[in-house]
Structure 1
Amino acid sequence: MTQQDTGGPASATRFFDWIRGIHVTRSDDRWLAGVCGAVAERTGLDPLVVRGVAIVVALLGGPVFLAYAAGWALLPDSSGRIHVERMVRGVLDPALIAIGVLVVLTFVPAVQGIWWQGVPVAWGMPGWLSATLGTAWTIALVGCAVWLVVVLARRGSQSAAGV
């Protein structure tokens, strides 16, 4: 493998350059890490709407913690720094601890949603069917969240056009 001036493998450098090239940066208008702000900026939605959808999807069992951790780790901030890239280069940011906590929270049963905790054991349902229903429930929740975002985006663009 070839090394570049930045000290890492060429393929890693190309990957992080590609990430920067998609022009999605974590927002400075942030509550935690700016991931929802980045999504809002990219989609043209209000950041509060994106944060609200993320919170609702998290409460309903969607994998928001994992998606947020991935965004925090992989999206550059306004200065162009990417946490995973810095980790590959040997610089351990304190934010990596919080990212790790979000990843761990993804797998804690208490935060996997308040609506789908599985079918009662008394029903005698086979495990594969319970898993299928759980997956279908998650897909339905994410689909509803996407539908809500589309409706809100259309409503926002219509009201902006009417002003």
Structure 2
Amino acid sequence: MDKFFDALRSTNFRRGPGRWVGGIAGGIAAHFGWDPILVRIGVLLSFLLPVVGIGAYVVAWLLLPWQDGSIPLEKLISGNRR
């Protein structure tokens, strides 16, 4: 599993430093150079789709690294040993 989490860290996707809620929209906006407000509106609109919007957000929340490189799913699995 370490290789999987290391691969996630090497993608250069990080949660946004000026985050609201989980920082997912801010991280996507920062990575692609988009306006964070527009990405946040897009994320909120995706929540109108049953399961897809919220499900994708939860998966992204579990897998996208924080600014320090820590990944929530990795912490859950390892019991915060890292």
| TM > 0.5 fold call | yes
The answer to whether residue 46 in structure 2 is matched with residue 83 in structure 1 is: no
TM-score normalised to the size of structure 2? Answer: 0.88
The answer to whether residue 58 in structure 2 is matched with residue 69 in structure 1 is: yes
Please point out which of 23, 26, 29 is paired with 2:18: 29
| Alpha carbons 2:16, 2:67 under 8 Å: kept | yes
Runs of 4+ in 1 over 4 A off after TM superposition: none
CA distance in structure 2 between the partners assigned to 1:13 and 1:56 by the alignment: 34
CA distance in structure 2 between the partners assigned to 1:25 and 1:72 by the alignment: 11
After superposition, give the CA deviation of every residue in 1:116-140 in whole Å (9 maximum; x if it has no partner): xxxxxxxxxxxxxxxxxxxxxxxxx
The amino acid of 2:61's aligned partner reads W
**Of Structure 1 and Structure 2, which has the larger fraction of its residues in helix?**
1
2:37 is aligned to 48
CA distance in structure 1 between the partners assigned to 2:20 and 2:67 by the alignment: 15
CA RMSD of aligned residues (A): 1.1
CA distance in structure 1 between the partners assigned to 2:33 and 2:41 by the alignment: 15
Structure 1 portions without partners, runs of 5+: 1-11, 92-163
2:46 is aligned to 57
TM-score normalised to the size of structure 1? Answer: 0.46
CA distance in structure 2 between the partners assigned to 1:71 and 1:57 by the alignment: 13
Please point out which of 7, 29, 36 is paired with 1:18: 7
| Alpha carbons 2:46, 2:54 under 8 Å: kept | no
CA distance in structure 2 between the partners assigned to 1:30 and 1:90 by the alignment: 25
| CA drift at 1:88 | 1.4
Aligned identity (percent) is 33
